[in-house]
Structure 1
Amino acid sequence: MSGERGRIAVVTGAARGIGRAIADRLASAGATVVVADLDVASAEEAAKQLGGGAIGVGVDVADLESVQATVSRVCGEFGRIDVLVNNAGWDKAERFVESDPADWERIVRINLFGVLNTCKTVLPVMIEQGGGAVVNIASDAGRVGSSGEAVYSAAKGGIIAFTKTIARETARHQVTANAVCPGPTDTALFASIGGPGLRESLAKAIPLRRIGTPEDVAGAVAFLTSGEAGYITGQTLSVSGGLTMS
């Protein structure tokens, strides 16, 4: 993998929230960031604010052809992809027995198939160039379950298992693959799931006594995509303030 500065990093769902914090952190480390998001206008605005040659591109990670077109554009413009961060995701909180199968498909297609689509398209690029780093944003829901998020938990659990497998398959090509599992994190998605009562109760349950921030997750991702983590692959890192331990 190339040096810390000058790397090309693709971050999905990077227009806001955790993805934006990751994009900021990687850019501050000298990477040229591709802000990939379904919301093209927001992606382009985020890239403008990042500077450093960042570009904003539209992509629907649930659509393989959309992913292929985006990766083709990135490779055409930069010639390589050193870092892939799969952050794009979506959830709808409700008890499983009350859930709509149409929502199951959307959750699985965005969260799980989104990762399959990007890895299917980007890993050959990394293999051909002789290295790269993939970080898939899973969730502690995929490690320990989460009430009201059954299908989301299943999809995120799938990401964890998938990450371990591609880590094994691509290690000989000097490609690393790791999963980061955020616990409760202060994002728009978290706000949509529960109100102040949930926030307060979770903060009391978390050993570090606060809800996580997008920047907390970004720090973990920045490490796992750096040269300092070049001998780490196939691992699952929980960023939960100690709420879950293993």
Structure 2
Amino acid sequence: MILEGKVALVTGSTSGIGLAIARSLAAKGAKVMLNGFGDPAEIEKLKSELGALHDGADMSDPAQIEAMVRHCSDELGAPDIVVNNAGIQHVSPVEEFPVEKWNAILAINLSAVFHTTRLTIASMKAKGWGRIINTASAHSLIASPNKSAYVAAKHGVAGFTKTVALEAAKDGVTVNCISPGYVWTPLVENQIPDTMKARNLTREQVVNDVLLAAQPTKRFVTPEEIGALALFLCREEARSITGANLSVDGGWTAA
């Protein structure tokens, strides 16, 4: 299998996009370290399904991130593949945006990407092979109202990705970000009530007139589609793809 002997650390991987990516990598032989919150019994099932380990590090805490990387290295080996996928969302006009929500979104969606990268890239460079894949968003390219922190963080992820890609270009390490449109995940589902309140809309109106209105395909992207792209980026055929921001958004950002 193409990833036999490789170690993959996937943050925010107990559900949604991260879990789909973890499944794709494990299916091709990678040893996987899962990360994320959730029901302990469900996490145990995922560990058994994927033959994976799990670390429940809070991605807003640099000390816990460092401990997670150490846990992965001690148990599985230093990560060859890092997928920075953990993320949270809050929807509110900027003048009402809670400061604690701003700080949490920047910490988890942006600063955590920096911390996992700084802690793992040296070993990748030393081995002459590595893959860093960051989950950005269509909001790394365009904006939507009431999502100031998320849009700022995802624009930051896109810029960070380009910078680190240039730094690692001669070391066999590729650094890319995937920018999904709306994917039906808990993150998207959970922001619907806030959007209903912020825009005074019904649930159906939020889904059809706010979310899918942006995507010309008029359907949600699936987590499995993102997982397949992440897997391709780990293949040798993708070694010349680095510093890219790859849109998977049903044509949203084509306009």
Normalised to the residue count of structure 2, the TM-score between the two structures is 0.89
Letter in 1 for 2:16: G
Q: How does 1:185-196 map to 2 (within 5 A)?
A: 185-194=183-192, 195-196=203-204
Aligned mates of 1:128, 1:79 — CA distance in 2:
14
Q: What is the Cα deviation at residue 198 of structure 1? A: 2.1
Distance 1:204 1:141, change over 3 A: closer
Shift of 1:205: 4.5
What does residue 161 of structure 1 align with? Answer: 159
Name the CA distance, whole Å, in 1 between partners of 2:44 and 2:127: 27
Query: Of 76, 88, 91, which residue of structure 1 is paired with 2:89?
Result: 91
Match of 2:125 in 1: 127
Q: Distance in 1 between matches of 2:159 and 2:69?
A: 24
Q: Quick check: 118-127 or 190-199, which moved more?
A: 190-199
Partner SS for 2:224: helix
Instruction: For structure 2, list consecutive stretches of 5 or more residues without a partner in the other structure.
Output: 193-202
Please give the secondary structure, in 2, of the residue aligned with 1:171: coil
Give 1:13's aligned residue.
Answer: 12
The residue correspondences of 1:1-246 to structure 2 (distance < 5 A) are 3-39=2-38, 41=40, 42-51=42-51, 54-194=52-192, 195-201=203-209, 202-203=211-212, 205-245=214-254
Matches of 1:82 and 1:199 in 2, distance apart? 38
Q: Is the 8 A contact 1:4 1:227 kept in 2?
A: no
The verdict on how the C-alpha distance between 1:40 and 1:128 changes in structure 2, with shifts beyond 3 A counting, is farther
Distance in 2 (CA, whole Å) between partners of 1:136 and 1:210 is: 23
Aligned-CA RMSD value: 1.8
Q: Percent identity?
A: 36
Could you tell me whether the CA contact under 8 Å between 1:33 and 1:47 is conserved in 2?
Answer: no
Shift, 1:230, TM fit = 1.0
SS at match of 1:173: coil
Q: Deviations over 1:3-61 (max 9, x none)?
A: 5323111100000111111111111122111112244835443222223xx11122122
Q: Is the 8 A contact 2:34 2:53 kept in 1?
A: yes
CA displacement at 1:209 relative to structure 2: 2.3
Q: Which aligned runs of 4 or more in structure 1 are off by greater than 3 angstroms?
A: 42-45, 202-205
Looking at structure 2, the residues matched to 112 and 204 of structure 1 have their Cα atoms a distance apart, in angstroms, of 27
Give the distance between the partners of 1:87 and 1:99, measured in 2 at CA: 23
Whole-angstrom CA distance in 2 between matches of 1:232 and 1:127: 17
Q: Distance in 1 between matches of 2:60 and 2:219?
A: 33
